[in-house]
Chains A and B, each alone.
Chain A
Amino acid sequence: MITVNDIYKSFGKVRAVRGVSFDAPDGKITGLLGPNGAGKSTTLRVLYTVLKPDQGSATIDGSDVVTDSLAARQRIGALPHGAGLYPHLTARENIAYYAKLCGLDKPAVDDRVASIVDLLEIGDFADRRSKGFSQGQRTKVSLARALVHNPQNVILDEPSNGLDVMATRSLRELILKLKDAGRCVLFSSHVMQEVAALCDDIVIIANGKVAIDDSVDGIRNRTACDDLEDAFVRAIEMVEPD
């Protein structure tokens, strides 16, 4: 369960996030939707404790991301935007490194790495060094790395970026599996269709503010648009500019 309570974040003069609030409950998929530069990544970076909000607060399963960041990090698995691997380590070593850092002991590490390699179907290249991996392979390994310790909350920043149709499809299946297992999944995207096909709740962000936080049907109703793309554009227009 992720709770975001009126957070603000500026970088110099750029006010990236200006009062974002929403909840991402367990057993549901929450989509963070918005145009480029809307503040999606900044919001997610606050949630996985890499950035500190200037104002407001956020909690992961009740742990504050600023005052109790270590406990919050224990409850999340994060896939940052453009996450990189260690090129000289194999995919399996990359994943095992994270498992060890999450405090798993040796047998548990081997066990978890083996099962996540199966789950994400990366066995073919798991023992190759990640230097020459394609974007899709890299994303899968990064995802495996983020999920290796079975986190209750999963935060994915534009996970489908650079993935082909097959990979996007298996990613979608994985996200649904996580939902069925009662996890809280929060992911960002700028593709309306992708979010609509998957999410129980959609939070549309524009100009650092929440435009709409509702279900797919709720968004259609409130914007009076049947077409999702139109609804997305209408929602963004509802936010006043700076």
Chain B
Amino acid sequence: MRTLFTVFLKEVVDNLRDRRTLASALIMGPLFGPMLFAFVISLSIERSLDDIDRTMELPVIGAEHAPNLMRYLLSRNIEVTNGPADRAAAIEAVTLGTHDVIVIVPAKFGEQLADTIPAKIELISDQANTQADRDARRVRSALNSYSQALAAVRLVARGVSPMVLRPIDVDEIDVSTPSGRSAVLLGMMSYFFIFALLMGGMYLAIDTTAGERERGSLEPLLSLPVTRGQLMLGKIAATCVFMAVSLLLSLCSFFVALKFMPLEQLGMTPNFGPDVVAVAFLVLVPFTLLGAALMTLVASFTKSYKEAQTWLSIVLIAPTLPILIVSILTLRPQLEFMFVPSLSQHLLLVDMIKKEPINLLHVAISVVSTLAIGAVLTWICARLYRREGLLG
């Protein structure tokens, strides 16, 4: 036990003095993820919010043929400007991207309207361009509502109630809560936490295995009167601690970052207070043993620091797979999922953010199965260190 503690302490001190390890454990993982997330979310929220209020310019060819329509568009915050000379020029302008949407009102528009023939209007847009498509949708919906308003006026003129055209009135009742809606967006955060956790221990896992071998310090270490299992456990314990610190930091930094995200404007109130931070830490922390042992195991097989880095970046991505598969198949949380590390933590975290009651059985299965797999991997690491092939 004292040997284990000696190894543990040495690895902690050694790595605390290593700038690269420190940067990836304390800055890269914990700060980078939440900051990137906050930035992207805030940006997209702001864009979608100011879309409706924003006055958009719409080039129209033949605006003089439909003065009423133009006034209507203006009331919808769409400012009509002079379009290109003709139809061909308009198509070219949209293709080149000088304009996103152009509307053409043919000369016969007023005439057709008067004859109650469907009056033709052309809307030119590039539907492959998502940015432009948003503007096109806005114009399309404005034109549709103008059309409906006209239809209603025509029916009234003929003494028919406009209600004739609405046989069914659908009333939608949304049972989602503000916290539930936020889970859609914040669910992916669980991967950021696992990523930060793994990043925190990655350089330790490399340094204590491939690094030690490359430096030539492994062989003298193995000639000391200690068992290899003790060495391994001390190293994995140090890696676990770095991972846990990294995890805690990333949870805290996300807690702070959330305060800067205008989620309320989308009707989302994420349940992510200090109590959730604490519980999330406890739910995620068993993953450190698994992560540390897995990374140490993979790094043990590699011949050099560089090679270890390459392989471990693959290990960084591996925990996304179960999360990804379940989100694509949109599976409901089930008991069996709790046996799968990373997925179980993800589902529990989503439940917490949704403010749904936490199923203690689920938590227990998640913790126990994650720890069990971690223990097995640790055991394999210790066995591996008895092999002489390890020395390369």
Contacts and interface: CB of A to CB of B under 8 A. Distances in A.
5 contacts: A51-B391, A73-B223, A89-B13, A93-B13, A98-B224
Interface in A84-127: 84-89, 93, 97-98, 100-103
Contacts of A88: 13-15, 17-18
B159 interface: no
A70 B7 CA distance: 17
A18 interface: no
Q: Is the interface of B mostly helix, strand, loop or mixed?
A: helix
A51 B13 contact: no
B227 A70 contact: yes
B237 to A, nearest CB: 15
A79 B220 CA distance: 7
Most B-side CB within 10 Å, residue of A52, A82, A86, A103: A86
Given A50-B223, A88-B14, A98-B220, 12 more contacts: A45-B219, A49-B222, A70-B225, A78-B220, A78-B223, A83-B219, A84-B216, A84-B217, A93-B13, A97-B6, A100-B6, A101-B225
Interface of A: 45, 48-52, 70-71, 73-74, 76, 78-80, 82-89, 93, 97-98, 100-103, 129, 142, 145-146
Given A84-B216, A86-B14, A88-B18, A49 B7 contact: no
A215 B88 CA distance: 104
Nearest to A129: B17
Chain B: interface size category: 20 to 34
Interface string B217-240: 101111111110000000000000
B10 interface: yes
A187 to B, nearest CB: 15
A102 B226 CA distance: 7
B216 A83 contact: yes
A85 B388 contact: no
Interface of B: 2-3, 6-7, 10, 13-15, 17-18, 215-217, 219-227, 388, 391
Contact of B224 (A73, A79, A83): A73
A165 B14 CA distance: 33
Contact of A87 (B215, B220, B226): B215
Contacts of B215: 84-87
Given A51-B388, A73-B223, A83 B6 contact: no
Contacts of B17: 88-89, 129
Most A-side CB within 10 Å, residue of B3, B18, B223: B223
B10 A145 contact: no
A144 B215 CA distance: 18
Contact of B223 (A49, A86, A89): A49
B388 to A, nearest CB: 5
A66 to B, nearest CB: 11
B157 to A, nearest CB: 88
A118 B221 CA distance: 23
B14 A50 contact: no
B217 A101 contact: no
Nearest to A88: B17
Contacts of A100: 2, 6
Nearest to B220: A83
A28 B367 CA distance: 59
Most B-side CB within 10 Å, residue of A74, A80, A98: A80
A101 B220 contact: no
Contact of B226 (A71, A78, A93, A101): A101
A82 B217 CA distance: 9
A50 B388 contact: yes
A173 B160 CA distance: 118
A31 to B, nearest CB: 20
A45 B392 CA distance: 13
Nearest to B217: A84
Contacts of A74: 225
Contacts of B6: 97, 100-101
A77 to B, nearest CB: 8
Contact of B10 (A85, A97, A103): A97
A180 to B, nearest CB: 24
Most A-side CB within 10 Å, residue of B2, B14, B18, B219: B219
A162 to B, nearest CB: 13
Nearest to A78: B223
A87 B17 CA distance: 10
Contacts of B2: 100, 103
